[in-house]
Structure 1
Amino acid sequence: MRNNVVDENKRYKIASRITWITIILNLVLAIGKIIIGFISNSSAILADGIHTVSDIGSSVGIVIGFFIAKKPEDEEHQYGHEKAETIAAFLLSLMLIAVGVKMGISSLKLMLCQTVKVPTVIAIWAAAISIVIKEFQFRMVMNVGKKIDSKALIADAWHHRSDALSSIAALLGVVGARMGYPLLDPLAGLVVSIIVVKVGVEFFIHGYNELMDVSIEESKLYEISRNLMKNTDIRNINDIKARKHGSKVYVDIKVCVDPNITVYMGHSIAEKVEEEVKRSLKNVKDVMVHVNPCSNHEEMNCLTCKNKTSKYVNKENKG
């Protein structure tokens, strides 16, 4: 248990360090794009700068989420604090949606109600530099996210990629405006706002599902069941459920065993089931194993047992 705590602290430390690097880069980038957006008359670059500000907000939220999530269980939070990551992402998704909608409304007003100004050439340089930096951030954060298996960092990496795409849209808008199509600049701002809203909705759905204890993928439940039937002394799996808890997973499983074994042997089998589940699936925080007797008594005959078999078990393997 001690080693697991050390590993988790190291994991959160790595995640926080890479996130702070992106925060500093984004702060410089956001200030630069917003200033250039104003002085160059480019609504697309201005919208892109606001998008980068949202990146800073999401990254700060992730740092806070990691800080809270690494806290151990206490009397008030007996299942730990891992959901802090999910809550932070959920709240930030609402912010992203609001920012994106506001940006879109501003771009539409500019297109319909005002005279559109042609951006200056500095806006082109701002967009080009932004594309390079955001793509670098995407690759850097994605690499670390996969290395430490952090869904929050991987989502943040795609946020950086969406910002790179919005910078491409801004670049196209600025170039088009300077080539004689001034409406392309606010149109690009509208495209950027749609990208921001899309990312916000995706984060919202992901956060909502995790807060509602969404299950892990069915393929993983099939794999766990197959390994249990193959590598343990259980006779059947009556039920298996799993729910995400931030970066962790809880697994609840009901198995049936030979009814003539001792309580000690049943307990040993349950321990092996727990070990096998943790071997089959990463980031398992806890496994709850309920052991049922498998017998030929009328109240629980073989047919009844098979009828209660989990859908993730191939009934031909064991019965």
Structure 2
Amino acid sequence: MDPINRYQQIRRVLIYTFILNWGVATAKLIYGWLIRSASMKADGFHSFSDGSSNLIGLLGIWVASRPIDPNHPYGHKKFETLTSAAISALLFLVCFNVIREGISRLIHPVIPEANLNAFLVMIVTLAINTGVMVYENKKGKELKSDILISDSLHTRADILTSSSVIITLFAIKLGYPMVDPIASLVIAFFIGYAAVQILRESARVLSDGAAIPIREIERVVLAIKGVKECHQIRSRGPADDIHIDLHILVAREMDVHRAHHLSYAIENKIKRDFPGVTDVVVHIEPVEEEEGKHKRRN
């Protein structure tokens, strides 16, 4: 897919989800404040952070979509991953605030009011969040976008928290108001878990963790005629911009022309078998026969 078109699609998805997330957040926060529900307000802040992460994502996409320049020969793609890490940091902040509010409500109890309107607000917003999560996750996988996938995980946590709030409203109606602050602490756990998931993947990309298992690359390369051995295999990058470099051993009598075509065949085969690979560097080395075994030259 054309990079410009890809970023335009990602930007469009983020704008749609931003509008929906902040609409949902506004409804939860206003009604949570009216009925004095800690769990509903916590869920509202979580939804508000969803919208904020959309804004961060839009900024990240704007930078990541910039073309290659002399100072950035590999492009600006990692800014998208860096943005995902920022979303994770935002989630940790929300998690902290929700925990603080929940503990405060445990120490100083407030009895919320659970009525039909509260249930309707939560059910409608839950339906919207579910639609947003499914749509964003689908587009994230389709476009291989770290930002969209991270944001969909963020929204998935919001779905879990909204479900917890609905259960809490039932508990309040049955005469168990203390379930409200306890539920807000459960919500904080879901938020924190989503933050850890996002941070783990962002850290892998930013620290150049292996993008594809070595054995899988080795299997593909060794299946190509002319390759005697494959070693020093490295891969890095996000799912849609993977860079691979490797060394192969070939017969020492192979001429430059054949070696060039072999490296080209390896590159094409890897790109076919591993969607998302954008760059393959093949280092070719001759082998010497010694006692019936291939030996690398020093």
Q: Which residue of 2 aligns with 1:117?
A: 112
**1:288 equivalent among 278, 281, 292:** 281
Q: Distance in 1 between matches of 2:191 and 2:161?
A: 8
Q: Tell me if the contact between 2:43 and 2:187 (Cα under 8 Å) persists in the aligned partners.
A: yes
Q: Distance in 2 between matches of 1:65 and 1:147?
A: 19
Superposition deviation, residue 205 in structure 1: 1.7
Q: Distance in 2 between matches of 1:252 and 1:113?
A: 60
Q: Which residue of 2 aligns with 1:52?
A: 47
Code of the residue aligned with 1:196 in structure 2: it is I
Q: Which moved more, 1:194-203 or 1:42-51?
A: 194-203
**2:257 equivalent among 241, 264, 280:** 264
Superposition deviation, residue 119 in structure 1: 3.7
Q: How does 1:50-199 map to 2 (within 5 A)?
A: 50-199=45-194
Code of the residue aligned with 2:230 in structure 1: it is I
Q: Distance in 1 between matches of 2:246 and 2:228?
A: 13
Q: Tell me if the contact between 1:15 and 1:153 (Cα under 8 Å) persists in the aligned partners.
A: yes
Q: Distance in 2 between matches of 1:25 and 1:279?
A: 38
Q: Distance in 1 between matches of 2:282 and 2:274?
A: 15
Superposition deviation, residue 297 in structure 1: 5.4
Q: Distance in 2 between matches of 1:185 and 1:15?
A: 37
Superposition deviation, residue 120 in structure 1: 4.0
The 1:227/1:217 distance shift into structure 2, 3 A limit, reads closer
Q: Distance in 2 between matches of 1:223 and 1:287?
A: 15
Q: Distance in 2 between matches of 1:68 and 1:280?
A: 30
Q: Which moved more, 1:104-113 or 1:154-163?
A: 154-163
- For the aligned residues, what is the CA RMSD? 2.0
Is 1:42 matched with 2:42?
Answer: no
TM-score (norm 2): 0.93
Q: Which residue of 2 aligns with 1:302?
A: 293
Q: Which residue of 2 aligns with 1:238?
A: 231
Superposition deviation, residue 246 in structure 1: 6.8
Q: Distance in 2 between matches of 1:114 and 1:125?
A: 25
Q: Which residue of 2 aligns with 1:309?
A: none
Superposition deviation, residue 122 in structure 1: 2.4
Q: Tell me if the contact between 1:210 and 1:246 (Cα under 8 Å) persists in the aligned partners.
A: no
Gaps of 5+ in 1: 306-319
The 1:266/1:217 distance shift into structure 2, 3 A limit, reads closer
Task: Tell me the alpha carbon deviations over residues 27-48 of structure 1, each in whole angstroms, 9 at most, x when there is no partner.
Answer: 1111111111111111111110
Task: Tell me the alpha carbon deviations over residues 119-176 of structure 1, each in whole angstroms, 9 at most, x when there is no partner.
Answer: 4442222211111111111111122222223243223222222111100001111221
Task: Tell me the alpha carbon deviations over residues 67-119 of structure 1, each in whole angstroms, 9 at most, x when there is no partner.
Answer: 22222211111111100111111122112111111111111111122343344
Q: Which residue of 2 aligns with 1:314?
A: none
Superposition deviation, residue 275 in structure 1: 1.5
Code of the residue aligned with 2:256 in structure 1: it is V
The 1:186/1:113 distance shift into structure 2, 3 A limit, reads same
State the identity %. 26
TM-score (norm 1): 0.87
Q: Distance in 1 between matches of 2:181 and 2:218?
A: 54
Q: Distance in 2 between matches of 1:117 and 1:153?
A: 35
